[in-house]
Amino acid sequence: MKKETIASITTPIGEGGIGVIHVSGSDSLEIINAVFKGKKRRDLRKAESKRLYYGDIYSNGSTVDEVIVNVLREQDSFTGEDLVEINCHGGILAVKKILECVVSAGAKEVHWKELASRPLSNDKIDLIQEEALLEIPKSKTKLGAKVLLDQYNGALSSLIQETVAQVEKCENNKEQLNDINSKLREILATATFGCAITSPQKLIITGKPNAGKSTLINALLKEDRLITHEEPGTTRDAIDEMISIDGIPLTIIDTAGIRETDHEVEKLGVLESKRQLIEADKIIIVFDSSRPVEKEDREILKFIEELELQKPDKNISIFPVLNKADLPGKLELKTVVGKTFEPICQVSALNGDGLTTLEKTLVSEFKEFTKYTPERPIIFTKRQQEDVSIVLRSSEQCIHLIDEDKNTSNNYTNYINDLKHNLLLTLHR
């Protein structure tokens, strides 16, 4: 059955100087030829593959926009079928109008995800590569883009395929299974980093009112994004911004101070702060080092201690920060250290002292990955992490059978088959 020719905008609308529309399918050249007038080539249907053509997209005899068209025949395109890439000006009006012209000429408008599924359905890529393809346009940092591009080009897929081949040759050999186990554990260790690249961790800033939370977040953002004032309760809403530290994206969230209050609006802010803390991956507790530990500080510490007990399945990293280090210190460290976790960073959010140390501490768990080695296999979705974990359990069961001297039974063969099957599931559904 002939597939429909589909079209999709593949760049964020209005966020760049260039807009890109992809048209994929057997009729793509016919459709674009109907709305494109080249400066030199008049009939795009006879265009050579991997060539650029300059001209205009027009509608009802009027020019819509000047464009550059890239023609890729099915043997050269990432979708496995004839593909036309239209590069136009990035303005919202121009991009949408060109898409309307393409649709009126016979293409079906689809979401980028549907277009990205064509390579998988045409056996051009596997499931891991498709997941990378979908994530690349959403990359928050250059490091993230590099990682995902490598996975699209087959870094992780190749490792899985190599492991499948190794399993096929594995016959009651514990040494071989141990080698497979080591590979699986090594790749699973990359998942925290890979998932943080695609789904940035939530970094919550909390502390008593006027401890300097908003000033600290402005310093981390390197701009005056949030209003600061010596009057407590200035921040009443949770405000989130994206930051990047050594290529690691973090969603940083400034919350209202946690304290008892009779102000109804401020009460809502405190409740929202507690909700955000429950969902946090990392928490910075800001203490005012120029003042002794107060009731509000202890209330926050108590809430976070209870939170950790309530969520033992989630590893929440806590970073106590002593702010206002430029002022005479009155806070006793021992009153903080005994109830929270090392390391404690001393900073002055106002003048920037200690910020570099704090930033490095926040992403210290990813130190191994910030100097990224090209083509390194990286797990970057929860789906991949869960599938590889299942594979690891299968290999451990095989080793257990050997240790129990039960490898001669049919169970061993069944476990090996399960191991291979589960490995292939990471690549194909």
Q: What is the DSSP string of 27-52?
A: THHHHHHTTEEESS-S-GGGPPTTEE
Examine the domain organization and report whether 150 and 229 are in the same domain.
no
User: Phi/psi of residue 261, each to 5°?
Assistant: -150, 150
Rounded percentage of the chain residues whose pLDDT exceeds 70: 86
Give the mean model confidence (pLDDT) for residues 400-408. Answer: 70
Examine the domain organization and report whether 329 and 392 are in the same domain.
no
Examine the domain organization and report whether 249 and 112 are in the same domain.
no
Residue 371 lies in a domain: no
Residue 265 has pLDDT above 90, yes or no: no
Residue 370 lies in a domain: no
Structure-model confidence comparison of residues 135 and 338, the more confident one: 135
- pTM higher than 0.85: no
Structure-model confidence comparison of residues 414 and 407, the more confident one: 414
Residue 236 has pLDDT above 50, yes or no: no
Examine the domain organization and report whether 214 and 300 are in the same domain.
yes
Examine the domain organization and report whether 149 and 261 are in the same domain.
no
Mean confidence (pLDDT) of the chain = 86
Examine the domain organization and report whether 304 and 235 are in the same domain.
yes
Tell me the pLDDT tens digit for each residue of 181-213: 999 999 999 999 999 999 999 999 988 888 888
Structure-model confidence comparison of residues 382 and 279, the more confident one: 382
Cβ-Cβ contacts under 8 Å for 351 (sequence gap 6 or more): 326
Give the pLDDT score at 257. Answer: 59
Examine the domain organization and report whether 43 and 139 are in the same domain.
no
Q: What's 74's domain CATH number? A: 3.30.1360.120
Of 5, 1, 10, the C-alpha closest to 33 is: 5
Helix axes 382-403, 410-425, angle to 10 degrees: 170
Examine the domain organization and report whether 228 and 343 are in the same domain.
yes
Examine the domain organization and report whether 186 and 138 are in the same domain.
yes
Residue 120 lies in a domain: yes
Examine the domain organization and report whether 182 and 301 are in the same domain.
no
Residue 64 lies in a domain: yes
Residue at which a domain ends, from 363, 393, 414: 363
Number of residues written out for the chain: 429
pLDDT interval class at 332 (50, 70, 90):
confident
Examine the domain organization and report whether 307 and 212 are in the same domain.
yes
Number of domains in the chain: 3
Q: What's 302's domain CATH number? A: 3.40.50.300
Residue 289 lies in a domain: yes
Residue 184 lies in a domain: yes
Range of the structural domain that residue 169 is part of:
132-190+377-425
Residue 321 lies in a domain: yes
Examine the domain organization and report whether 256 and 308 are in the same domain.
yes
**What type of residue sits at position 178?**
N
Residue 339 has pLDDT above 80, yes or no: no
Residue 24 tokens, joined? 């994929």
